[in-house]
Amino acid sequence: MKNLIRRKSVIIPSLVVLTLLWLWLVQYAFSWSLFWNDLYSQTLAWEAVPFDKTHQYNIERFDRELAVTRLDEAQVQMNWKRAWKYRPMIEKKLSAAWVPLDIFYLAIAESSLRETAVSSAWAAGIWQFMPETAKTYGLRVDSYIDERYDVEKETDAAIQYLKKAYDKFWNWTLAMAAFNRWVNGIANDMNSQYQSSYYDLWLNNETARYIFRILAIKEVYKNPSAYFDTSKWGGQYSNPDTVEVTVPQTDNLAVWAAWNGYTYAEIRYLNPWIKKNALPEWSWKIKVYKR
């Protein structure tokens, strides 16, 4: 009798432990299945990303960009911290133009939301417009003024470009790819390969990775705590309170600033589209700190 009691005292706890372990494994497997299905059920700019059996290579393409993005936590953190400075304005303009809000992640891919970013090819601003393209879309670019550094004006230009590309392809994924490859480049690839989907085109390495890079940025941005310990990131940046003042033509902006109670540093920092210590003939609206 005593031996039976001893056996039961060992078997019952063991069964309880095994049952709990089994339940945990089932729950873990279920949650991982949900995560996997969610991770590979992506949409970008209102359009589904194919991960079916004829597009299985997309899984590796997406995983590669996700891994590369996760490797640079410092950059992801800075993107996240800067986002609040620009996202409300960008999304407001995108919504007004009936353009998908996911286009915001394209700006992150282009410049990491650095309004003064300049590439080796002289593309500039958060949307990285080339000088001639910027002029085509109504931005002033000369030795005094470079409106590619005016975030709002360059955002308007980017929306114009993307809508024009969409009117050509009737597909936002292709329009986004054209932001990297140019409209004619994408159109030529489509014509020569007899394909109508970005995901069925053989493209140069940069453009082939471009959409998946944006997709990875979107995934990490929307779920940062799933990939990083965001408790150490601190808060997001915000824009300072500013007002606009009118400045006439001046040959010495620093002198004008001092005479009017401002600093030259604040004028250049708040108005990065000004390239020199001077403004040409015009009545200029510039931002200054709200006193």
pLDDT digits (tens, 9 = 90+) for 119-152: 999 999 999 999 999 999 999 999 999 999 999 9
Tally of CB atoms within 10 A around 211: 26
- Residue 178 belongs to some domain of the structure: yes
Domain match, 144 and 195 both: yes
For residue 38, name the pLDDT band (cuts at 50, 70, 90).
low
pLDDT of residue 26: 41
Domain match, 165 and 196 both: yes
Q: What is the mean pLDDT of the chain?
A: 90
Q: DSSP alpha helices (H): ranges in the chain? A: 2-39, 57-71, 73-96, 103-111, 131-136, 151-169, 172-181, 183-193, 205-222, 253-259, 264-270
Q: Are 249 and 281 in contact (CB under 8 A)?
A: yes
pLDDT of residue 87: 97
As a whole number, mean pLDDT of residues 1-9 equals 50
- Interior angle at CA 286, CA 115 and CA 101, nearest 5: 40
Look at residue 36 and tell me whether its pLDDT is greater than 70: no
Structural domain including 14 reads 2-39
Domain match, 27 and 70 both: no
Domain match, 71 and 163 both: yes
CATH number at residue 72: 1.10.530.10
- Residue 48 belongs to some domain of the structure: no
Domain count, the chain: 3
* 72 vs 20, residue with greater confidence: 72
pLDDT of residue 41: 78
- Residue 263 belongs to some domain of the structure: yes
CA distance 212 to 208: 8
pLDDT of residue 13: 56
Residue range 177-197, pLDDT digits in tens: 999 999 999 999 999 999 999
Domain match, 96 and 132 both: yes
Domain match, 63 and 196 both: yes
HSE (CB half, 13 Å, CA atoms) of 101? 9
Q: What percent of the chain has pLDDT over 90?
A: 86
Residue range 215-256, pLDDT digits in tens: 999 999 999 999 999 999 999 999 999 999 999 999 999 999
Domain match, 275 and 209 both: no
Q: In this structure, what token pair is assigned to residue 6?
A: 């001893």
